[in-house]
Structure 1
């Protein structure tokens, strides 16, 4: 009978052969998900035998990961700061860059709590749910064009016990008469020509609808900026997550649309990732 250590060695070796980055960590995370335990528990139970049914189930997951399917889609879960989310291939897997965006909104909202926030391109609902958890008095709306994404977002809100309104909308299409104190968006921003060069996990499995930002990766920024002021309260705030090398272009678009640049937040590689804007009216 295979033990925990046996399975870890076999799975790690398979991942190494397939070219999976961090093979041991991937094996550990899959086994932890199977056994509903912590990584530390694996090390404390190396000699624990696994039942045949457990080995068979893990084997199917290992094969899927060996085909570069993201770990989060295999387990169906991911962690984002202090919340847990369900994810499928209908939504992007939340990135560390989005944590910077969430932190920026929360920190700036502590002094003067906004009454309303709109999260455009909400996907899994990650931003809307995080913000509602930390700004419980704020009315938060998440929107997306994808019905499948909205169902996942709604399920995630229930899972995290927060009340968020989710609306199907192509950007502002469903909000003709509504204004918000804050609008936030992590829109599709990958240049169309660069989709083929993305990591296999992203290129082959994550939804291109949530990745493709057009020829220059700027289509959604332009569309949002063109009419965002019509949906913002007086002196309302607009927050964007940025792709690499997009700060100058988006900042210039924002200036032309009548927004003041308040701040730019870099990631840990000093790449500008968050743009904070305020309506000049």
Structure 2
């Protein structure tokens, strides 16, 4: 790459290079990596496009392009991903937060507000929301910040993930009680009003056919949902017996084509009088919620 080429030329060449290497969204990848290497973003990035590419950043630029061309996700290279308007640290220990998960947070906040308009449980008790499969902490941290009156807890089976989630909570000043363990087990005996989870939901046999960015780089424990992808939902519903009572609000994220089956699991459990499916922006049923309108 000639030292005199402009930042715009670097973007064009990188987009072509990444496309030839089969990268998903090559132009978006090129821009995000350029912003990362140059330390600029937004308007400052566009204003800098005509500038010469800084010679001192050439080695770093070539290094990140090589990593991306090999299939490593941009978010693991830059170490961050935006979620609900906030920047979260991400590492290979955690699943990269997806935009559709923001819709799950919105739904939980909406129905939580309807069920508990005062922000408190019946009798004035502090509302408790539990996030299962914390990962980066995106869901738990966001709930804690958007609903500061709630007590938010989050669990994960991965110690490495909890370290990342804890750093994200500290970064954003969120009070979240993180616990290590398998699904609901760390919360045995805890009065839980809201249960939310984006668990592993990909059928084990389908993982080999995923995009290489996901298949080869994101943690398998956050992807593999068993033979049909529904094992975590079944197990969480079985583990509700560990709690003093079933939560009045449950929200699950799920994979394409799984909404009907997960809704049926919630229906069969019999704890909720309303089952709601929330579509993502592509019209795909992506979240299922169980709601019990009557009080405690």
TM-score by length of 2: 0.89
The whole-number CA distance in structure 2 between the counterparts of 1:247 and 1:12 is 36
Structure 2 residue runs without a partner (length 5+):
121-126
Could you say if the C-alpha distance between residues 232 and 63 of structure 1 is closer, same or farther in structure 2, counting changes exceeding 3 Å?
Answer: farther
Query: Paired residue for 2:278?
Result: 265
The whole-number CA distance in structure 2 between the counterparts of 1:234 and 1:120 is 15
Deviation at 1:49, TM superposition (A): 2.7
Deviation at 1:235, TM superposition (A): 6.1
Is 2:182 aligned against 1:170? yes
Deviation at 1:192, TM superposition (A): 0.6
Query: Paired residue for 2:124?
Result: none
Deviation at 1:234, TM superposition (A): 6.5
Q: How does 1:179-218 map to 2 (within 5 A)?
A: 179-218=191-230
User: Does the Cα contact within 8 Å between 1:181 and 1:232 map onto a contact in 2?
Assistant: no
The whole-number CA distance in structure 2 between the counterparts of 1:157 and 1:106 is 18
- Single out whichever of 143-152 and 171-180 deviates more from structure 2: 171-180
Query: Paired residue for 2:26?
Result: 23
Deviation at 1:78, TM superposition (A): 0.4
Is 2:287 aligned against 1:274? yes
Deviation at 1:233, TM superposition (A): 4.6
What is the root-mean-square deviation of aligned Cα atoms in Å? 1.8
CA displacement, residues 114-155 of structure 1 (integer Å, 9 cap, x when unaligned): 511000011111000010110011110010000000000000
Match of 1:95 among 93, 98, 115: 98
- Single out whichever of 247-256 and 176-185 deviates more from structure 2: 247-256
The whole-number CA distance in structure 2 between the counterparts of 1:18 and 1:129 is 36
SS in 1 for 2:290: strand
TM-score by length of 1: 0.94
Q: How many residue pairs end up in the alignment? A: 281
Structure 1 residue runs without a partner (length 5+):
none
- Single out whichever of 42-51 and 263-272 deviates more from structure 2: 42-51
- Single out whichever of 153-162 and 5-14 deviates more from structure 2: 5-14
Could you say if the C-alpha distance between residues 183 and 44 of structure 1 is closer, same or farther in structure 2, counting changes exceeding 3 Å?
Answer: same
Deviation at 1:47, TM superposition (A): 3.4
User: Does the Cα contact within 8 Å between 1:179 and 1:230 map onto a contact in 2?
Assistant: no
The whole-number CA distance in structure 2 between the counterparts of 1:214 and 1:250 is 14
